Chain A
Amino acid sequence: MTKDEKKPLEQTLGEWKRFIYNPGSGEILGRTAESWGLILLFYLAFYGFLAALFTFTMWVMLQTLSDETPKYRDQISSPGLTIVPKPPGALEFSLNISKPATYENYIDAIKEFLREYEGKKQEHLLQCRNGTFFEQDNIFPKKTCKFSLETLGPCSGLNDVNFGYPDGNPCIFVKMNRIIGLRPQGEPRIVCAVKEGTEVNLATFPKDGRLDLMYFPYYGKKLHNSQCLKSGSFLQESATTIKEPGELSTARSCSPGPVSELQPRSVNRM
């Protein structure tokens, strides 16, 4: 029957033309101007209503929130650790001390990372008491504790601007992520161990990778409006240096020990 026959091209074209503009009925794309007007008006009204509805429901939802702390913190119940510098790809550092190009990026990243902790920037910060939580529930605005780079020893960048990379004793920084209201129990510290291979000389700073309790707890961005810039001003930072002889430092993994009962789950995946 006719449906099997291919329509000639002109006819198809003609049909399309008529569809785009039909001079007979004044239809553009199958609708008259009036019809288009009506339908557009309808959609305008309908989507206006929908926008209002969505805005309203979002507003109601936002009303249930506090500005200071998120409703739930269950997804980050244990803080993650951040490593600086971050090697490309997997967590494997590979560098050749005779080729500065292989580690220059690392040094730059560390410098960038430590810039916030320079003495000048911390001048106005509070010198807190070591070893105790810095509770300030009733203090407004919240204060931030000073972090002294000296505690990082040879990795502080104060003496060795290259963080030991050219010597084959690279510094790697491990930072604990900020979590609102986190109060570690006991003495939180990050433990590094050699994963495999020969004996490696591994040193951690501050001593034993300890995280001082005075940096806890965190009260959230809004309240705890520290002058500290970028990342975690009051310093759950702990720097660890892997001192290792030899030209190449490969596949060393640093895993933090128990930070009191907080077992950073994210670290396991690192």
Chain B
Amino acid sequence: MGKKKSEVYSVEVNGIKDIETTNEGDGKEKYRGLKDHLGHKKDHQKELKKELDLDDHKLNAKELEDKYGTNIIRGLTSTKAAEILARDGPNALSPPKETSEIIKFLKQMVGGFSILLWAGAVLCWIAFGIQFAKDKSASMDNVYLGFVLALVVIFTGIFAYYQEAKSTNIIASFSKMIPRQALVIRDGEKKEIPAGQLVVGDIVEIKGGDQIPADIRILASHGCKVDNSSLTGESEAQSRSCDFTHENPLETKNIGFYSTTCLEGTATGMVINTGDRTIIGRIASLASGVGNEKTPIAIEIEHFVHIVAGVAVSIGVIFFIIAVSMKYPVLESIIFLIGIIVANVPEGLLAAVTVSLSLTAKRMAKKNCLVKNLEAVETLGSTSIICSDKTGTLTQNRMTVAHLWFDNQIYQADTSEDQEAQIFDQSSATWASLSKIVTLCNRAEFRPGQETVPIMKKIVVGDASETALLKFSEVIMGDIMETRKRNRKVAEIPFNSTNKFQLSIHETDDPNDKRFLLVMKGAPERILEKCSTIMINGQEQPLNESSAEAFQTAYMELGGLGERVLGFCHLYLPEDEFPDTYPFDVETMNFPTSDLCFVGLLSLIDPPRSTVPDAVTKCRSAGIKVIMVTGDHPITAKAIAKSVGIISANSETVEDIAKRLNVPVEQVNKRDAKAAVVNGMELKEMSQEQLDEVLINHTEIVFARTSPQQKLIIVEGCQRQDAVVAVTGDGVNDSPALKKADIGIAMGIAGSDAAKNAADMVLLDDNFASIVTGVEEGRLIFDNLKKTIAFTLTKNIAELCPFLIFIIAGIPLPIGTITILFIDLGTDIIPSIALAYEKAESDIMNRKPRHKKKDRLVNQQLALYSYLHIGILQSLGAFLAYFTVYTEQGFRPTRLIFLRSEWEDGNINDLEDSYGQEWTRYQRKYLEWIGYTSFFVAIMVQQIADLIIRKTRRNSIFQQGLFRNKVIWIGIASQIIIALILSYGFGSITAMNFTTLRVQYWFVAIPYAIVIWLYDEFRKLLIRRYPGSWWDKNMYY
């Protein structure tokens, strides 16, 4: 898949000679590691054992035929295949167990505040039941209220469910890719069938580029090489043949694994396992065994719900007791209790939070972060450690020529993504020769029909290094295919690991020159061995000590950069010895392969994406630790880490210090080293404490040569430090780590389906920089959610106070329960969502990630400031409006106090006001509704002020700009319009308790709105003026 292609040439610089030797042992260790690790999960232990019981690799063809009832030549019969398909099911990984839709829906119905509201609704009905039993003419108000409450719960539940389903659907559509096809032999005929239809016993053919469609036992192979990286993390290509080479089914060469890629060659194999029974399938199912942690925002919201519900219930109960002890009938006290709960619960808030999150998710999707789980939006923002893959995420995932060495000089090549020309000095005659070798000694070819595609994007048939060289030369010299045609190839020896070189012999395009040109490239030291001369400035010079040393220095330097170095040499074959008709034979090598002329070195690297260094710097300033976890070689890993800034330019590893001070590694104080490069082997030996120590002591860490299983260990290590860990991954084996991480990020292009399933987020462009934009969005939404919540909580006090004063001072009820719901779910909804569009107040990428346990979404300051400052101010403004209405109609405040029992007594039809006029109960009721409406309008007006002050938490509104967030103004308009409609449009519908209102009553609360704004500006001013002061600590939320 997206992993680096075959490692054709190995780099052998001092100290890293052990690659090949470690490979084998390493591989085995990894499986053991996997086993050990997964062994902890009891349920899966058996499964894994079964996996290792696989013995098909030991059987010969005949035994296999018998075992699976198939025929190697003719394949299964269609009927038999259909039978097995019916028995085993399709050959596909079963998606992770989804909670059933009903359960999901019910969860929404009982989550959050729903329980509280259900309780309210039920209490309403019970109260009505009792009233009705006592008096058949009892008012239906409580029944309506109960239904409204139930409707609120059901609608917000449906809404949240719908939002979640919508975001799940995005991913579902995304993962439904075009079904893969498999070439299978059935009934003696070759057929293309969807890979999902394969069954055990099928004979399949695979060729280079295919994904292996199931676990297969190789029956015949033609230079078949596979990339098992998605299984083992090993990016080296492994050859596959029909020989039984190892007891361990994972090691033997005659088994090909489901979902791994065939890189080159062809093979025929028999399907031995399908679907979930494949090795990959079993590992993928293990991912579901790793617990899915609650997201930080879910914890925060839960915390907040607890606070609000706690406040609601305790105030409710306290006032229930007060009401009862004030000799109110119990039934009425219950109705007060309901009112208090409804007033206290921000019914619309959770919906607003969901919408805010999904808006951010949409914004992130535009920036190539596809969020599967809405809550993950914020998780990304609180991330404190990112464990990133190297290949493809930090790098471009393609080999590119980075440096050249000729004429005793190192030249740097352009490695950016969209290069169109190379600007190094190309005037030397040596370059002319070198370019010719690079062009000719290369088997890679552009796929035809891509004339219009930019060179760097053209598809090439060939391995990674050759592709890099081909593109490199195409960029500099133009039409390479044409050049090759003019220099016809007469013989060729492809690369193999024993020779470690590749050569080809060409006619030259110079009509006067009848000599053949022999060109060769390969591992530099092998090439140098074959040379006796070296070309300097176009002149062949004998290869002496000093030039050999220059070569060594250059080789070491380039190798030290983690680059893959290739040597190039050539030889013009003398015309007399090798005439036109000379029969070149590559088997006998009837041509010279020594005393060649060394021309130069090219070094290749998978270069970092150009956006990554910036992104890493941003992470650093944002206090996020970036840890690189790669299966690659430490030197390469370190070089890339350095070039992208994961290891900063001036920091050293323990080894670096040792080298600089010339002391053994053991004598270096580990704490002096900022950076650390940890090898997978070392990691295996480490105890948990040692790993913790590494993670704590070093700020810049690279894990190299790690297996995907070790990723899980690293993630757990990070989580032990209380960090919120983001992990990127693409392979199936990454899925446990992705699941375990606080936020798993799968690669959209290179990622396997299993990884995408396990992840919370999919990176559509595989680019690390996209993660950083995601972090920014995540942090912004956290801040904005704070604002939304602060905005929403404020008016709860203004809704609650009326009830409390109603109970204690016995005034006519200032605002009805249904009216409250119209604020919570009507006027306040759009404004609270509008706050999600607020821009950041300062550079949010310049502060530390929030501490999971200390920086809460709803902290004490936020609650106190909303409830006890702005909330109280709002209540006063609303009460002013209320008293104004009553007083102007004849009931002065003094008359209102303790008027309640008479006011509500339906038998009194001549209640006297302050002026001696008499009011019937219906006139009073209507006046009460005017009171509700004016109270409602007063809250609405002050909520506009509240909305404006909530735009910022620290900056002045003028610093933030009143008009930058246009949605706020839509929100304000919506508040006013909804209020107007309710008052003037529905004023005549009695059940709604709204009335038309005199124009001036809309303005009564405006002085308070202004005071709210001034007070908040004052608060912010002091916070800015005196950071760290008592005021800052108590007033900044």
Contact = CB atoms under 8 A, between A and B. Distances in A.
A70 B917 contact: yes
B923 A80 contact: yes
B916 A180 contact: yes
Interface string A217-253: 0101110100000011000000000000000000000
Given A80-B919, A220-B916, A266-B923, A62 B887 contact: yes
A62 to B, nearest CB: 7
A76 B924 CA distance: 9
Contacts of A38: 1030
B880 A61 contact: yes
A71 B888 contact: yes
A231 B1030 CA distance: 60
B857 to A, nearest CB: 16
A231 B919 CA distance: 12
Interface in B860-885: 868-869, 872-873, 876, 879-880, 883-884
B920 A177 contact: yes
A226 to B, nearest CB: 9
B135 A178 contact: no
A222 B917 CA distance: 11
Nearest to B720: A1
Contact of B917 (A42, A71, A83, A179): A179
A231 B917 CA distance: 10
B910 interface: yes
Given A83-B909, A89-B135, A75 B888 contact: no
Given A70-B888, A80-B923, A46 B869 contact: yes
Given A76-B923, A220-B916, A70 B890 contact: yes
B497 interface: no
B37 to A, nearest CB: 17
A224 B916 contact: yes
B94 interface: no
B915 A180 contact: yes
Interface residues of B, number: 43
Most chain B beta-carbon contacts within 10 A, residue among A61, A73, A222: A61
A12 B922 CA distance: 55
B719 A50 contact: no
A75 B926 contact: yes
Contacts of B914: 70, 221
B915 A70 contact: yes
Contacts of B879: 54
Interface in A17-40: 38-39
Given A75-B889, A80-B923, A232-B918, A50 B909 contact: no
Interface of B is mostly: helix
Contact of A61 (B869, B884, B910, B1030): B884
Nearest to B926: A75
Contacts of A221: 912, 914-916
A266 B917 contact: no
Interface residues of A, number: 48
A177 B890 CA distance: 14
B888 to A, nearest CB: 4
Nearest to A39: B1034
Contact of B915 (A62, A90, A222): A222
Interface string B558-598: 00000000000000000000000000000000000000000
B889 A50 contact: no
B717 to A, nearest CB: 13
A86 B921 CA distance: 13
A50 B913 CA distance: 29
Most chain B beta-carbon contacts within 10 A, residue among A76, A82, A220: A76
B293 A1 contact: yes
Contacts of B930: 75
B764 interface: no
Contacts of B868: 43
Contacts of A155: none
A72 B889 contact: yes
Nearest to B907: A86
A179 B917 CA distance: 5
B909 A73 contact: no
Given A69-B915, A175-B910, A266-B909, A54 B876 contact: yes
B1007 interface: yes
Contact of A58 (B873, B883, B917): B883
B137 interface: yes
A44 interface: no
B1011 interface: yes
Contact of B919 (A53, A71, A76, A90): A76
A177 B924 CA distance: 13
B1011 A177 contact: no
B917 A80 contact: no
B893 interface: yes
A269 interface: yes
Contact of A53 (B876, B893, B998): B876
B958 to A, nearest CB: 24
A65 interface: yes
A40 to B, nearest CB: 12
Contacts of A76: 890, 917-919, 923
Contacts of B883: 58, 61
Contacts of A83: 909
B917 A178 contact: yes
B869 A54 contact: no
| Pairs of residues from A and B, 6 with the lowest C-beta to C-beta distance, nearest first | A221-B916, A80-B920, A177-B918, A70-B890, A71-B888, A266-B920
Interface of B: 135, 137, 293-294, 719, 868-869, 872-873, 876, 879-880, 883-884, 887-890, 892-893, 907, 909-910, 912-920, 922-923, 926-927, 930, 998, 1007-1008, 1011, 1030, 1034
9 contacts: A65-B887, A71-B887, A72-B998, A75-B889, A75-B923, A76-B917, A81-B920, A177-B919, A266-B920
Interface of A: 1, 3, 38-39, 42-43, 46-47, 50, 53-54, 57-58, 61-62, 65, 68-73, 75-76, 79-83, 86, 88-90, 175, 177-180, 218, 220-222, 224, 231-232, 265-266, 269
Given A76-B890, A180-B916, 4 more contacts: A53-B1011, A80-B909, A89-B137, A178-B918
